[in-house]
Amino acid sequence: MSYPRSTAPCLDGTSHRGWCILNTSGWQDLPHTRLLADVSLWSADLANLAAGIERVDPFADSFHLDVSDARFAPSLLFFPDLIRALRPLTKRPFHIHLMVERPTTIIEDFVTSGADLITVHAEVGKSEAGAAIQAIVRVGRSAGLALRLDTPLTASEPYLDRIDALLLLGTGLGVKGQDLAPEACDRLVSAASMLGERRARVRLIADGGIRSHTVPLLRRAGADVIVPGSLVFQSQNLVETFSWLRAL
C-alpha cells in the first residue's frame, strides 16, 4: 500500500522511512466546537442501508460501523465489501470500530474500503494494539482506541500521543439496547482529566446507552462525540433531534 507523503517538516512526528505521513482522514476536519454525532448504522434498517444513509446524511457528522469477529465480541457485523459498497453513498467520514482479536490482519482491507477513522481495542494486548495503531497512522488515517467498561483508563496511556480518538463504552460490548452503566459518566470525567492538553487533539467518544436522557449527562461529563443509533433512526423529526444535540 502506498503512503500519503510530504517533504515538509513532520511537525507531529508521524513519519515512515524519512517521509512525513499526511493524515488524509475526513475525521480530522470535523468541528471541535460542538457535540458530534457518529451515527451507528447497526441501528439502521439493515435491509435498506442506502435509504438510512440518505435520510440521515444531511445531519450526521460521521457514520459508525461496528466490525466483530464473534470472538472478541458476540456478534458478526459489518465487513469490508459492504463498507466499500456504502462508501459512494455519502461524503461523511466512516468510523470503523474493530471489535476483533487481530485488527492488524484486516486494517488494510478497511482502509481500502473507505475508512477515515479506525478504532481498535486496548484489550487485544499492547503489542497488537500498538502495531494496529501504527499501521493506521502510516496509511494516513485517523486512529482511535476503545476501552471496555471493565478496562482501567490507564490502559490507554501508552497510545495517547498517537491516537485521534478515545472511545469509552458505556455498556457491555457488542450487544444493542442496553442501559448506560452507572460508572460511564465518571469514566468520561476521569478520561478528560487524564488527557490534559491532549484534549485539543484527542476526541472523547461515548458509545453505548445513548438515549435522550443520557446524552446531556455524557456531554457534561466530557464527551465530544456520541454514537447514537435508535435515537436517530427512530426519530420522527431529524431537524429537531439534531438541533437539540448540537445545542448541548
Task: Report, as residue numbers or ranges, the catalytic residues.
Answer: 66, 207
Nearest to 166 by CA among 107, 219, 225, 110: 225
Nearest to 209 by CA among 178, 185, 174: 178
Instruction: Report the CATH number that the domain containing residue 132 is assigned in CATH.
Output: 3.20.20.70
> What residues make up the domain containing 231?
5-247
DSSP string, 8-65: S--TT--EETTEEEP---GGGGS-SSS-EEEEEGGGS-TT-HHHHHHHHTTT-SEEEE
Judged by DSSP in three states, 219 sits in helix
Distance (Å, rounded) from C-alpha 74 to C-alpha 94?
22
Could you list the pLDDT tens digit for every one of the 248 residues in the chain?
544 554 444 544 455 444 455 777 899 899 999 999 999 999 999 999 999 999 999 999 999 999 999 899 888 889 999 999 999 999 999 999 999 999 999 999 999 999 999 999 999 999 999 999 999 999 999 999 999 999 999 999 999 999 999 999 999 887 777 899 999 999 999 999 999 999 999 999 999 999 999 999 999 999 999 999 999 999 999 999 999 999 99
Query: How many domains does the chain divide into?
Result: 1
Can you read off the three cell numbers belonging to residue 211?
438515549
